[in-house]
Amino acid sequence: MTATATSVDEPDQLEPQARPLSRGARLARGLVPAAAAALSGVLLYVSFPPRTLWWLALPAFAGFAWCLRGRSWKAALGLGYVFGLGFLLPLLVWTGVEVGPGPWLALVVIEAVFVALTAVGIAAVSKLPGSPFWAAALWVAAEAARARAPFGGFPWGKIAFGQADGVFLPLAAVGGTPVLGFAVVLCGFGLYEVVRQAVEGRRTGAVRRGPAVAALLALLLPLAGALAARPLVSDKAENGTATVAVIQGNVPRAGLDFNAQRRAVLDHHVRETERLAAEVRAGKVARPDFVLWPENSSDIDPFGNPDAYAVIDGAAKAIGAPISVGAVVERNGRLYNEQILWDPEKGPGATYDKRQVQPFGEYLPMRSLIGAINGEWTSMVHQDFSRGSEPGVFRMAGTKVGLATCYEAAFDWAVRDTVTHGAQLISVPSNNATFDRSEMTYQQLAMSRIRAVEHSRTVTVPVTSGVSAVIMPDGRITRHTGMFVADSLVQEVPLRSSETPATRFGIAPEMLLVLVAAGGLGWAAAAAVRGRRAGDL
């Protein structure tokens, strides 16, 4: 027995040892995935408006998948954070246009954490059968979390919002932004799997049928789904038409002090409305059934300032149609970002108070802490806005107009419930004057295009300084203004009342994908436990 035993001291019985990597090789080995993650993140940013390179999202996620496959949780966390920075740093640079880099960098640092944690989950499921499906569901689950926390959430940068010009757009009518985003991410991860399977098959001389079929399905199913969903997209009138006027009055100056000169912004919008009224009387332009002004189009409270009340009332009488007026209103010591339905005969009537107010823009969370860090920031938001509680649907000349004010367009629920409350047309009154000529206005315009298809409604976007637009229910922009010009858009638009699957299903598709993501993580965790037990035996 002892004569046949193997001694671990005999060198001819030892396994050959791998040669240690040099310091430079180890550095390169770590830098290449990090560089690829950063580049993939930048590629994803480039796929967003104002560019129409929507298809770049696919190689962006394919590159991200390559970075994460089989990584440890620590490596995935770091690579995910780098990917998030590459994407969000340039995407959100507009948040620091007027207030400096501090808030911009703080926002990106926080938001990139969501991407980093998502990457850990994607790495965990990367070895499971059908990994692209689990990974895409995890991405949507992370977007769902990011849209809700912290401080009410920040959905900016949802993958769906980069797809207004893409082939996947009809999927917005199927399940809203979660389904649209899921399809894009799935297709990107599927692209990586197809390439990986092809390379592996070429190296080994054999293709594993099951994984190859799963990879092809991940790549092709989103495209097939988008093609099948096209009949849901229509710009046909169901309830007749309405002639709508969108007013862009412009502002005296860009920046945070766009409204520093008393009543100047209001006078700009009154002047543009009266100019349009003169063209209507001259027969040059069709008479609008109703008129839509932007958010903050009245820079002073018309209920507390008789002069503001008088000029708005005069504008409504001049155009001979009801106007939705955006104003900052003080009521019982509280500030509201309000839309006011102003009738040419009866004056002000119904109101809508913005419900999703913007943190650090319209209210300041942790005010005492922020003030201790930088007192200037508290002076920028000297009084918090209060939130409204009811959805806004104005009946204007017989048309039900749903209202989602500016920032609210990024939130699925804030747009959807205007439609479930009867809106035949959606208006997104906005004020982008504080962001100068940045990409922000184009990113927000793309959101409105997605909402148009999601709910099959005409969407109007009246903006103080541009870009204002009229969007058909199929997502096409038919009329738009330039930036920082006074202008008006008048167009006959279709009215619709049918509900898309996305409208009917509401939050259900998103919650289903969250459950799928949880199932994938559970499977990956169970597989890891089984692997550890097998290693211990």
In eight-state DSSP terms, residue 300 is S
Check if 406 is active-site. Answer: yes
Check if 67 is active-site. Answer: no
The single residue of 272, 295, 362, 510 carrying the catalytic annotation is 295
Instruction: Say if residues 251 and 265 touch (Cβ distance below 8 Å).
Output: yes
The single residue of 193, 272, 354, 408 carrying the catalytic annotation is 354
d(CA 154, CA 158): 9
**Burial of 374 per CB tally in 10 Å (0-12, 13-18, 19+):** middle
Strand-pair category, 347-353 with 399-403: unpaired
Measured at the CA of 354, the angle between CA 353 and CA 358, to 5 degrees, comes to 145
The single residue of 338, 362, 406, 510 carrying the catalytic annotation is 406
Instruction: Say if residues 452 and 503 touch (Cβ distance below 8 Å).
Output: no
d(CA 249, CA 273): 8
d(CA 175, CA 400): 24
Instruction: Say if residues 247 and 297 touch (Cβ distance below 8 Å).
Output: yes
Amino acid at 78: G
How many C-beta neighbours within 10 Å does residue 145 have?
Answer: 14
d(CA 244, CA 491): 6
Peptide bond preceding 150: is omega within 30 degrees of 0, i.e. cis? yes
Check if 346 is active-site. Answer: no
Instruction: Say if residues 435 and 406 touch (Cβ distance below 8 Å).
Output: no
Residues in Cβ contact with 154 at an 8 Å cutoff, skipping those fewer than 6 apart: 107, 111, 146, 147, 410
DSSP-derived 3-state class of residue 458: strand
Cα–Cα distances in angstroms (integers) from residue 520 to residues 77, 512, 513, 524, 527, in the given order = 18, 12, 10, 6, 11
Amino acid at 310: A
In eight-state DSSP terms, residue 537 is -
How many C-beta neighbours within 10 Å does residue 12 have?
Answer: 4
Instruction: Say if residues 457 and 276 touch (Cβ distance below 8 Å).
Output: no
Catalytic residues: 295, 354, 406
